[in-house]
Amino acid sequence: MRILVTAGPTREYIDDVRFISNPSSGRMGYLVAAEASRRGHDVHLLSGPVCLESPEGVRLSPFESVDDLYELCAGCLEETDCIVMAAAVGDWKPAARASGKRRKSDLLTLELVGTRDVLASLAPAKGGRVFVGFAMEVETPVENALRKAVVKSMDFIVVNGPASFGAEKAVFTFVFPDGRTKVLGEVRKAHLAGLILDEAEALFRGRVGD
Ligand code: CTP
């Protein structure tokens, strides 16, 4: 399978020296990319700014902003069978990026606008590709994740809670767009990477019919 994995945080610049981001370490996406490469898949990893080494045998392309990430994904879609969207995509960006460095006295209110939804934007061109998403949910996790899976044409979404941030293991559930769930319980992220690929491989096999 030709797998596109996205990992890590996005950055939206306020001026040339400041940005809005999030604390994603990128670990989950890197684990999926490493395991997929180990299994012999053709792996392209799109990475936000993280402190991780590129897994062996993986092609790596960096991104910073949500628009960069979208352009990379859209440009690779043709040559992709499966997208694992583990990037922690920021939801807002400054309405305008200032050049240089804004003085602190100039900027007491920051106007934000929404970012593009990458998966939702790719959904109309999805075809037979497998889309896997992630959601960190605090309240009504399955209901929220199900809504996202349906709206963004995902084949399944990996749901976890905030305790998962930076942790080695956490409690995960797969939610499918028809409402089915697979409760995995507490698993190590390295093991989860394999479970995600098992599911994606089975879906892909079902589509290509072998
Ligand atoms: N995602 C995306 N583009 C965005 C935001 C999220 O492609 N602008 C992807 C994420 O990579 C993830 C999935 O969509 O795989 C769900 O992300 P999440 O942040 O949980 O959902 P949102 O739609 O942003 O909803 P909210 O922040 O309101 O919970």
Residue pair 49/36 in contact by the 8 Å Cβ criterion? no
Res. 210 pLDDT band, cuts 50 70 90:
low
Q: Which residue in the block uniquely carries the two structure tokens 């709206």?
A: 151
SS3 sequence, 3-58? Answer: EEEEECECCEECCCCCEECCCCCCHHHHHHHHHHHHCCCEEEEEECCCCCCCCCCC
Q: Enumerate the domain spans of the chain.
A: 2-208
CATH architecture of 2-208: 3-Layer(aba) Sandwich (3.40)
Residue among 164, 116, 117 at smallest CA distance from 136: 164
Give the number of the atom of ligand 1 that is nearest the alpha carbon of residue 151. 23
What are phi and psi for residue 143, nearest 5 degrees? -60, -45
* Residues flanking ligand 1, CB < 6 Å: 66, 85, 87, 89, 91, 115, 117-119, 133-135, 148, 152
Nearest atom of ligand 1 to the alpha carbon of 133: 15
Q: Is 144 in the active site?
A: no
Fill in the amino acid letter for 104. Answer: K
Separation between Cα atoms, residue 197 and residue 180, nearest integer Å: 18
- pLDDT, one tens digit per residue, over 46-86 is 999 999 999 999 999 999 999 999 999 999 999 999 999 99
- Nearest-CA residue for atom 27 of ligand 1: 91
- Which of 119, 121, 122, 130 has most ligand 1 atoms within 8 Å of its beta carbon, as the pocket-test mutant? 119
CA distance 172 to 45: 23
State the distance from the centre of ligand 1 to the C-alpha of 73, rounded, in angstroms: 15
Per-residue pLDDT reduced to its tens digit, 105-164: 887 789 999 999 999 999 999 999 999 999 999 888 899 999 999 999 999 999 998 888
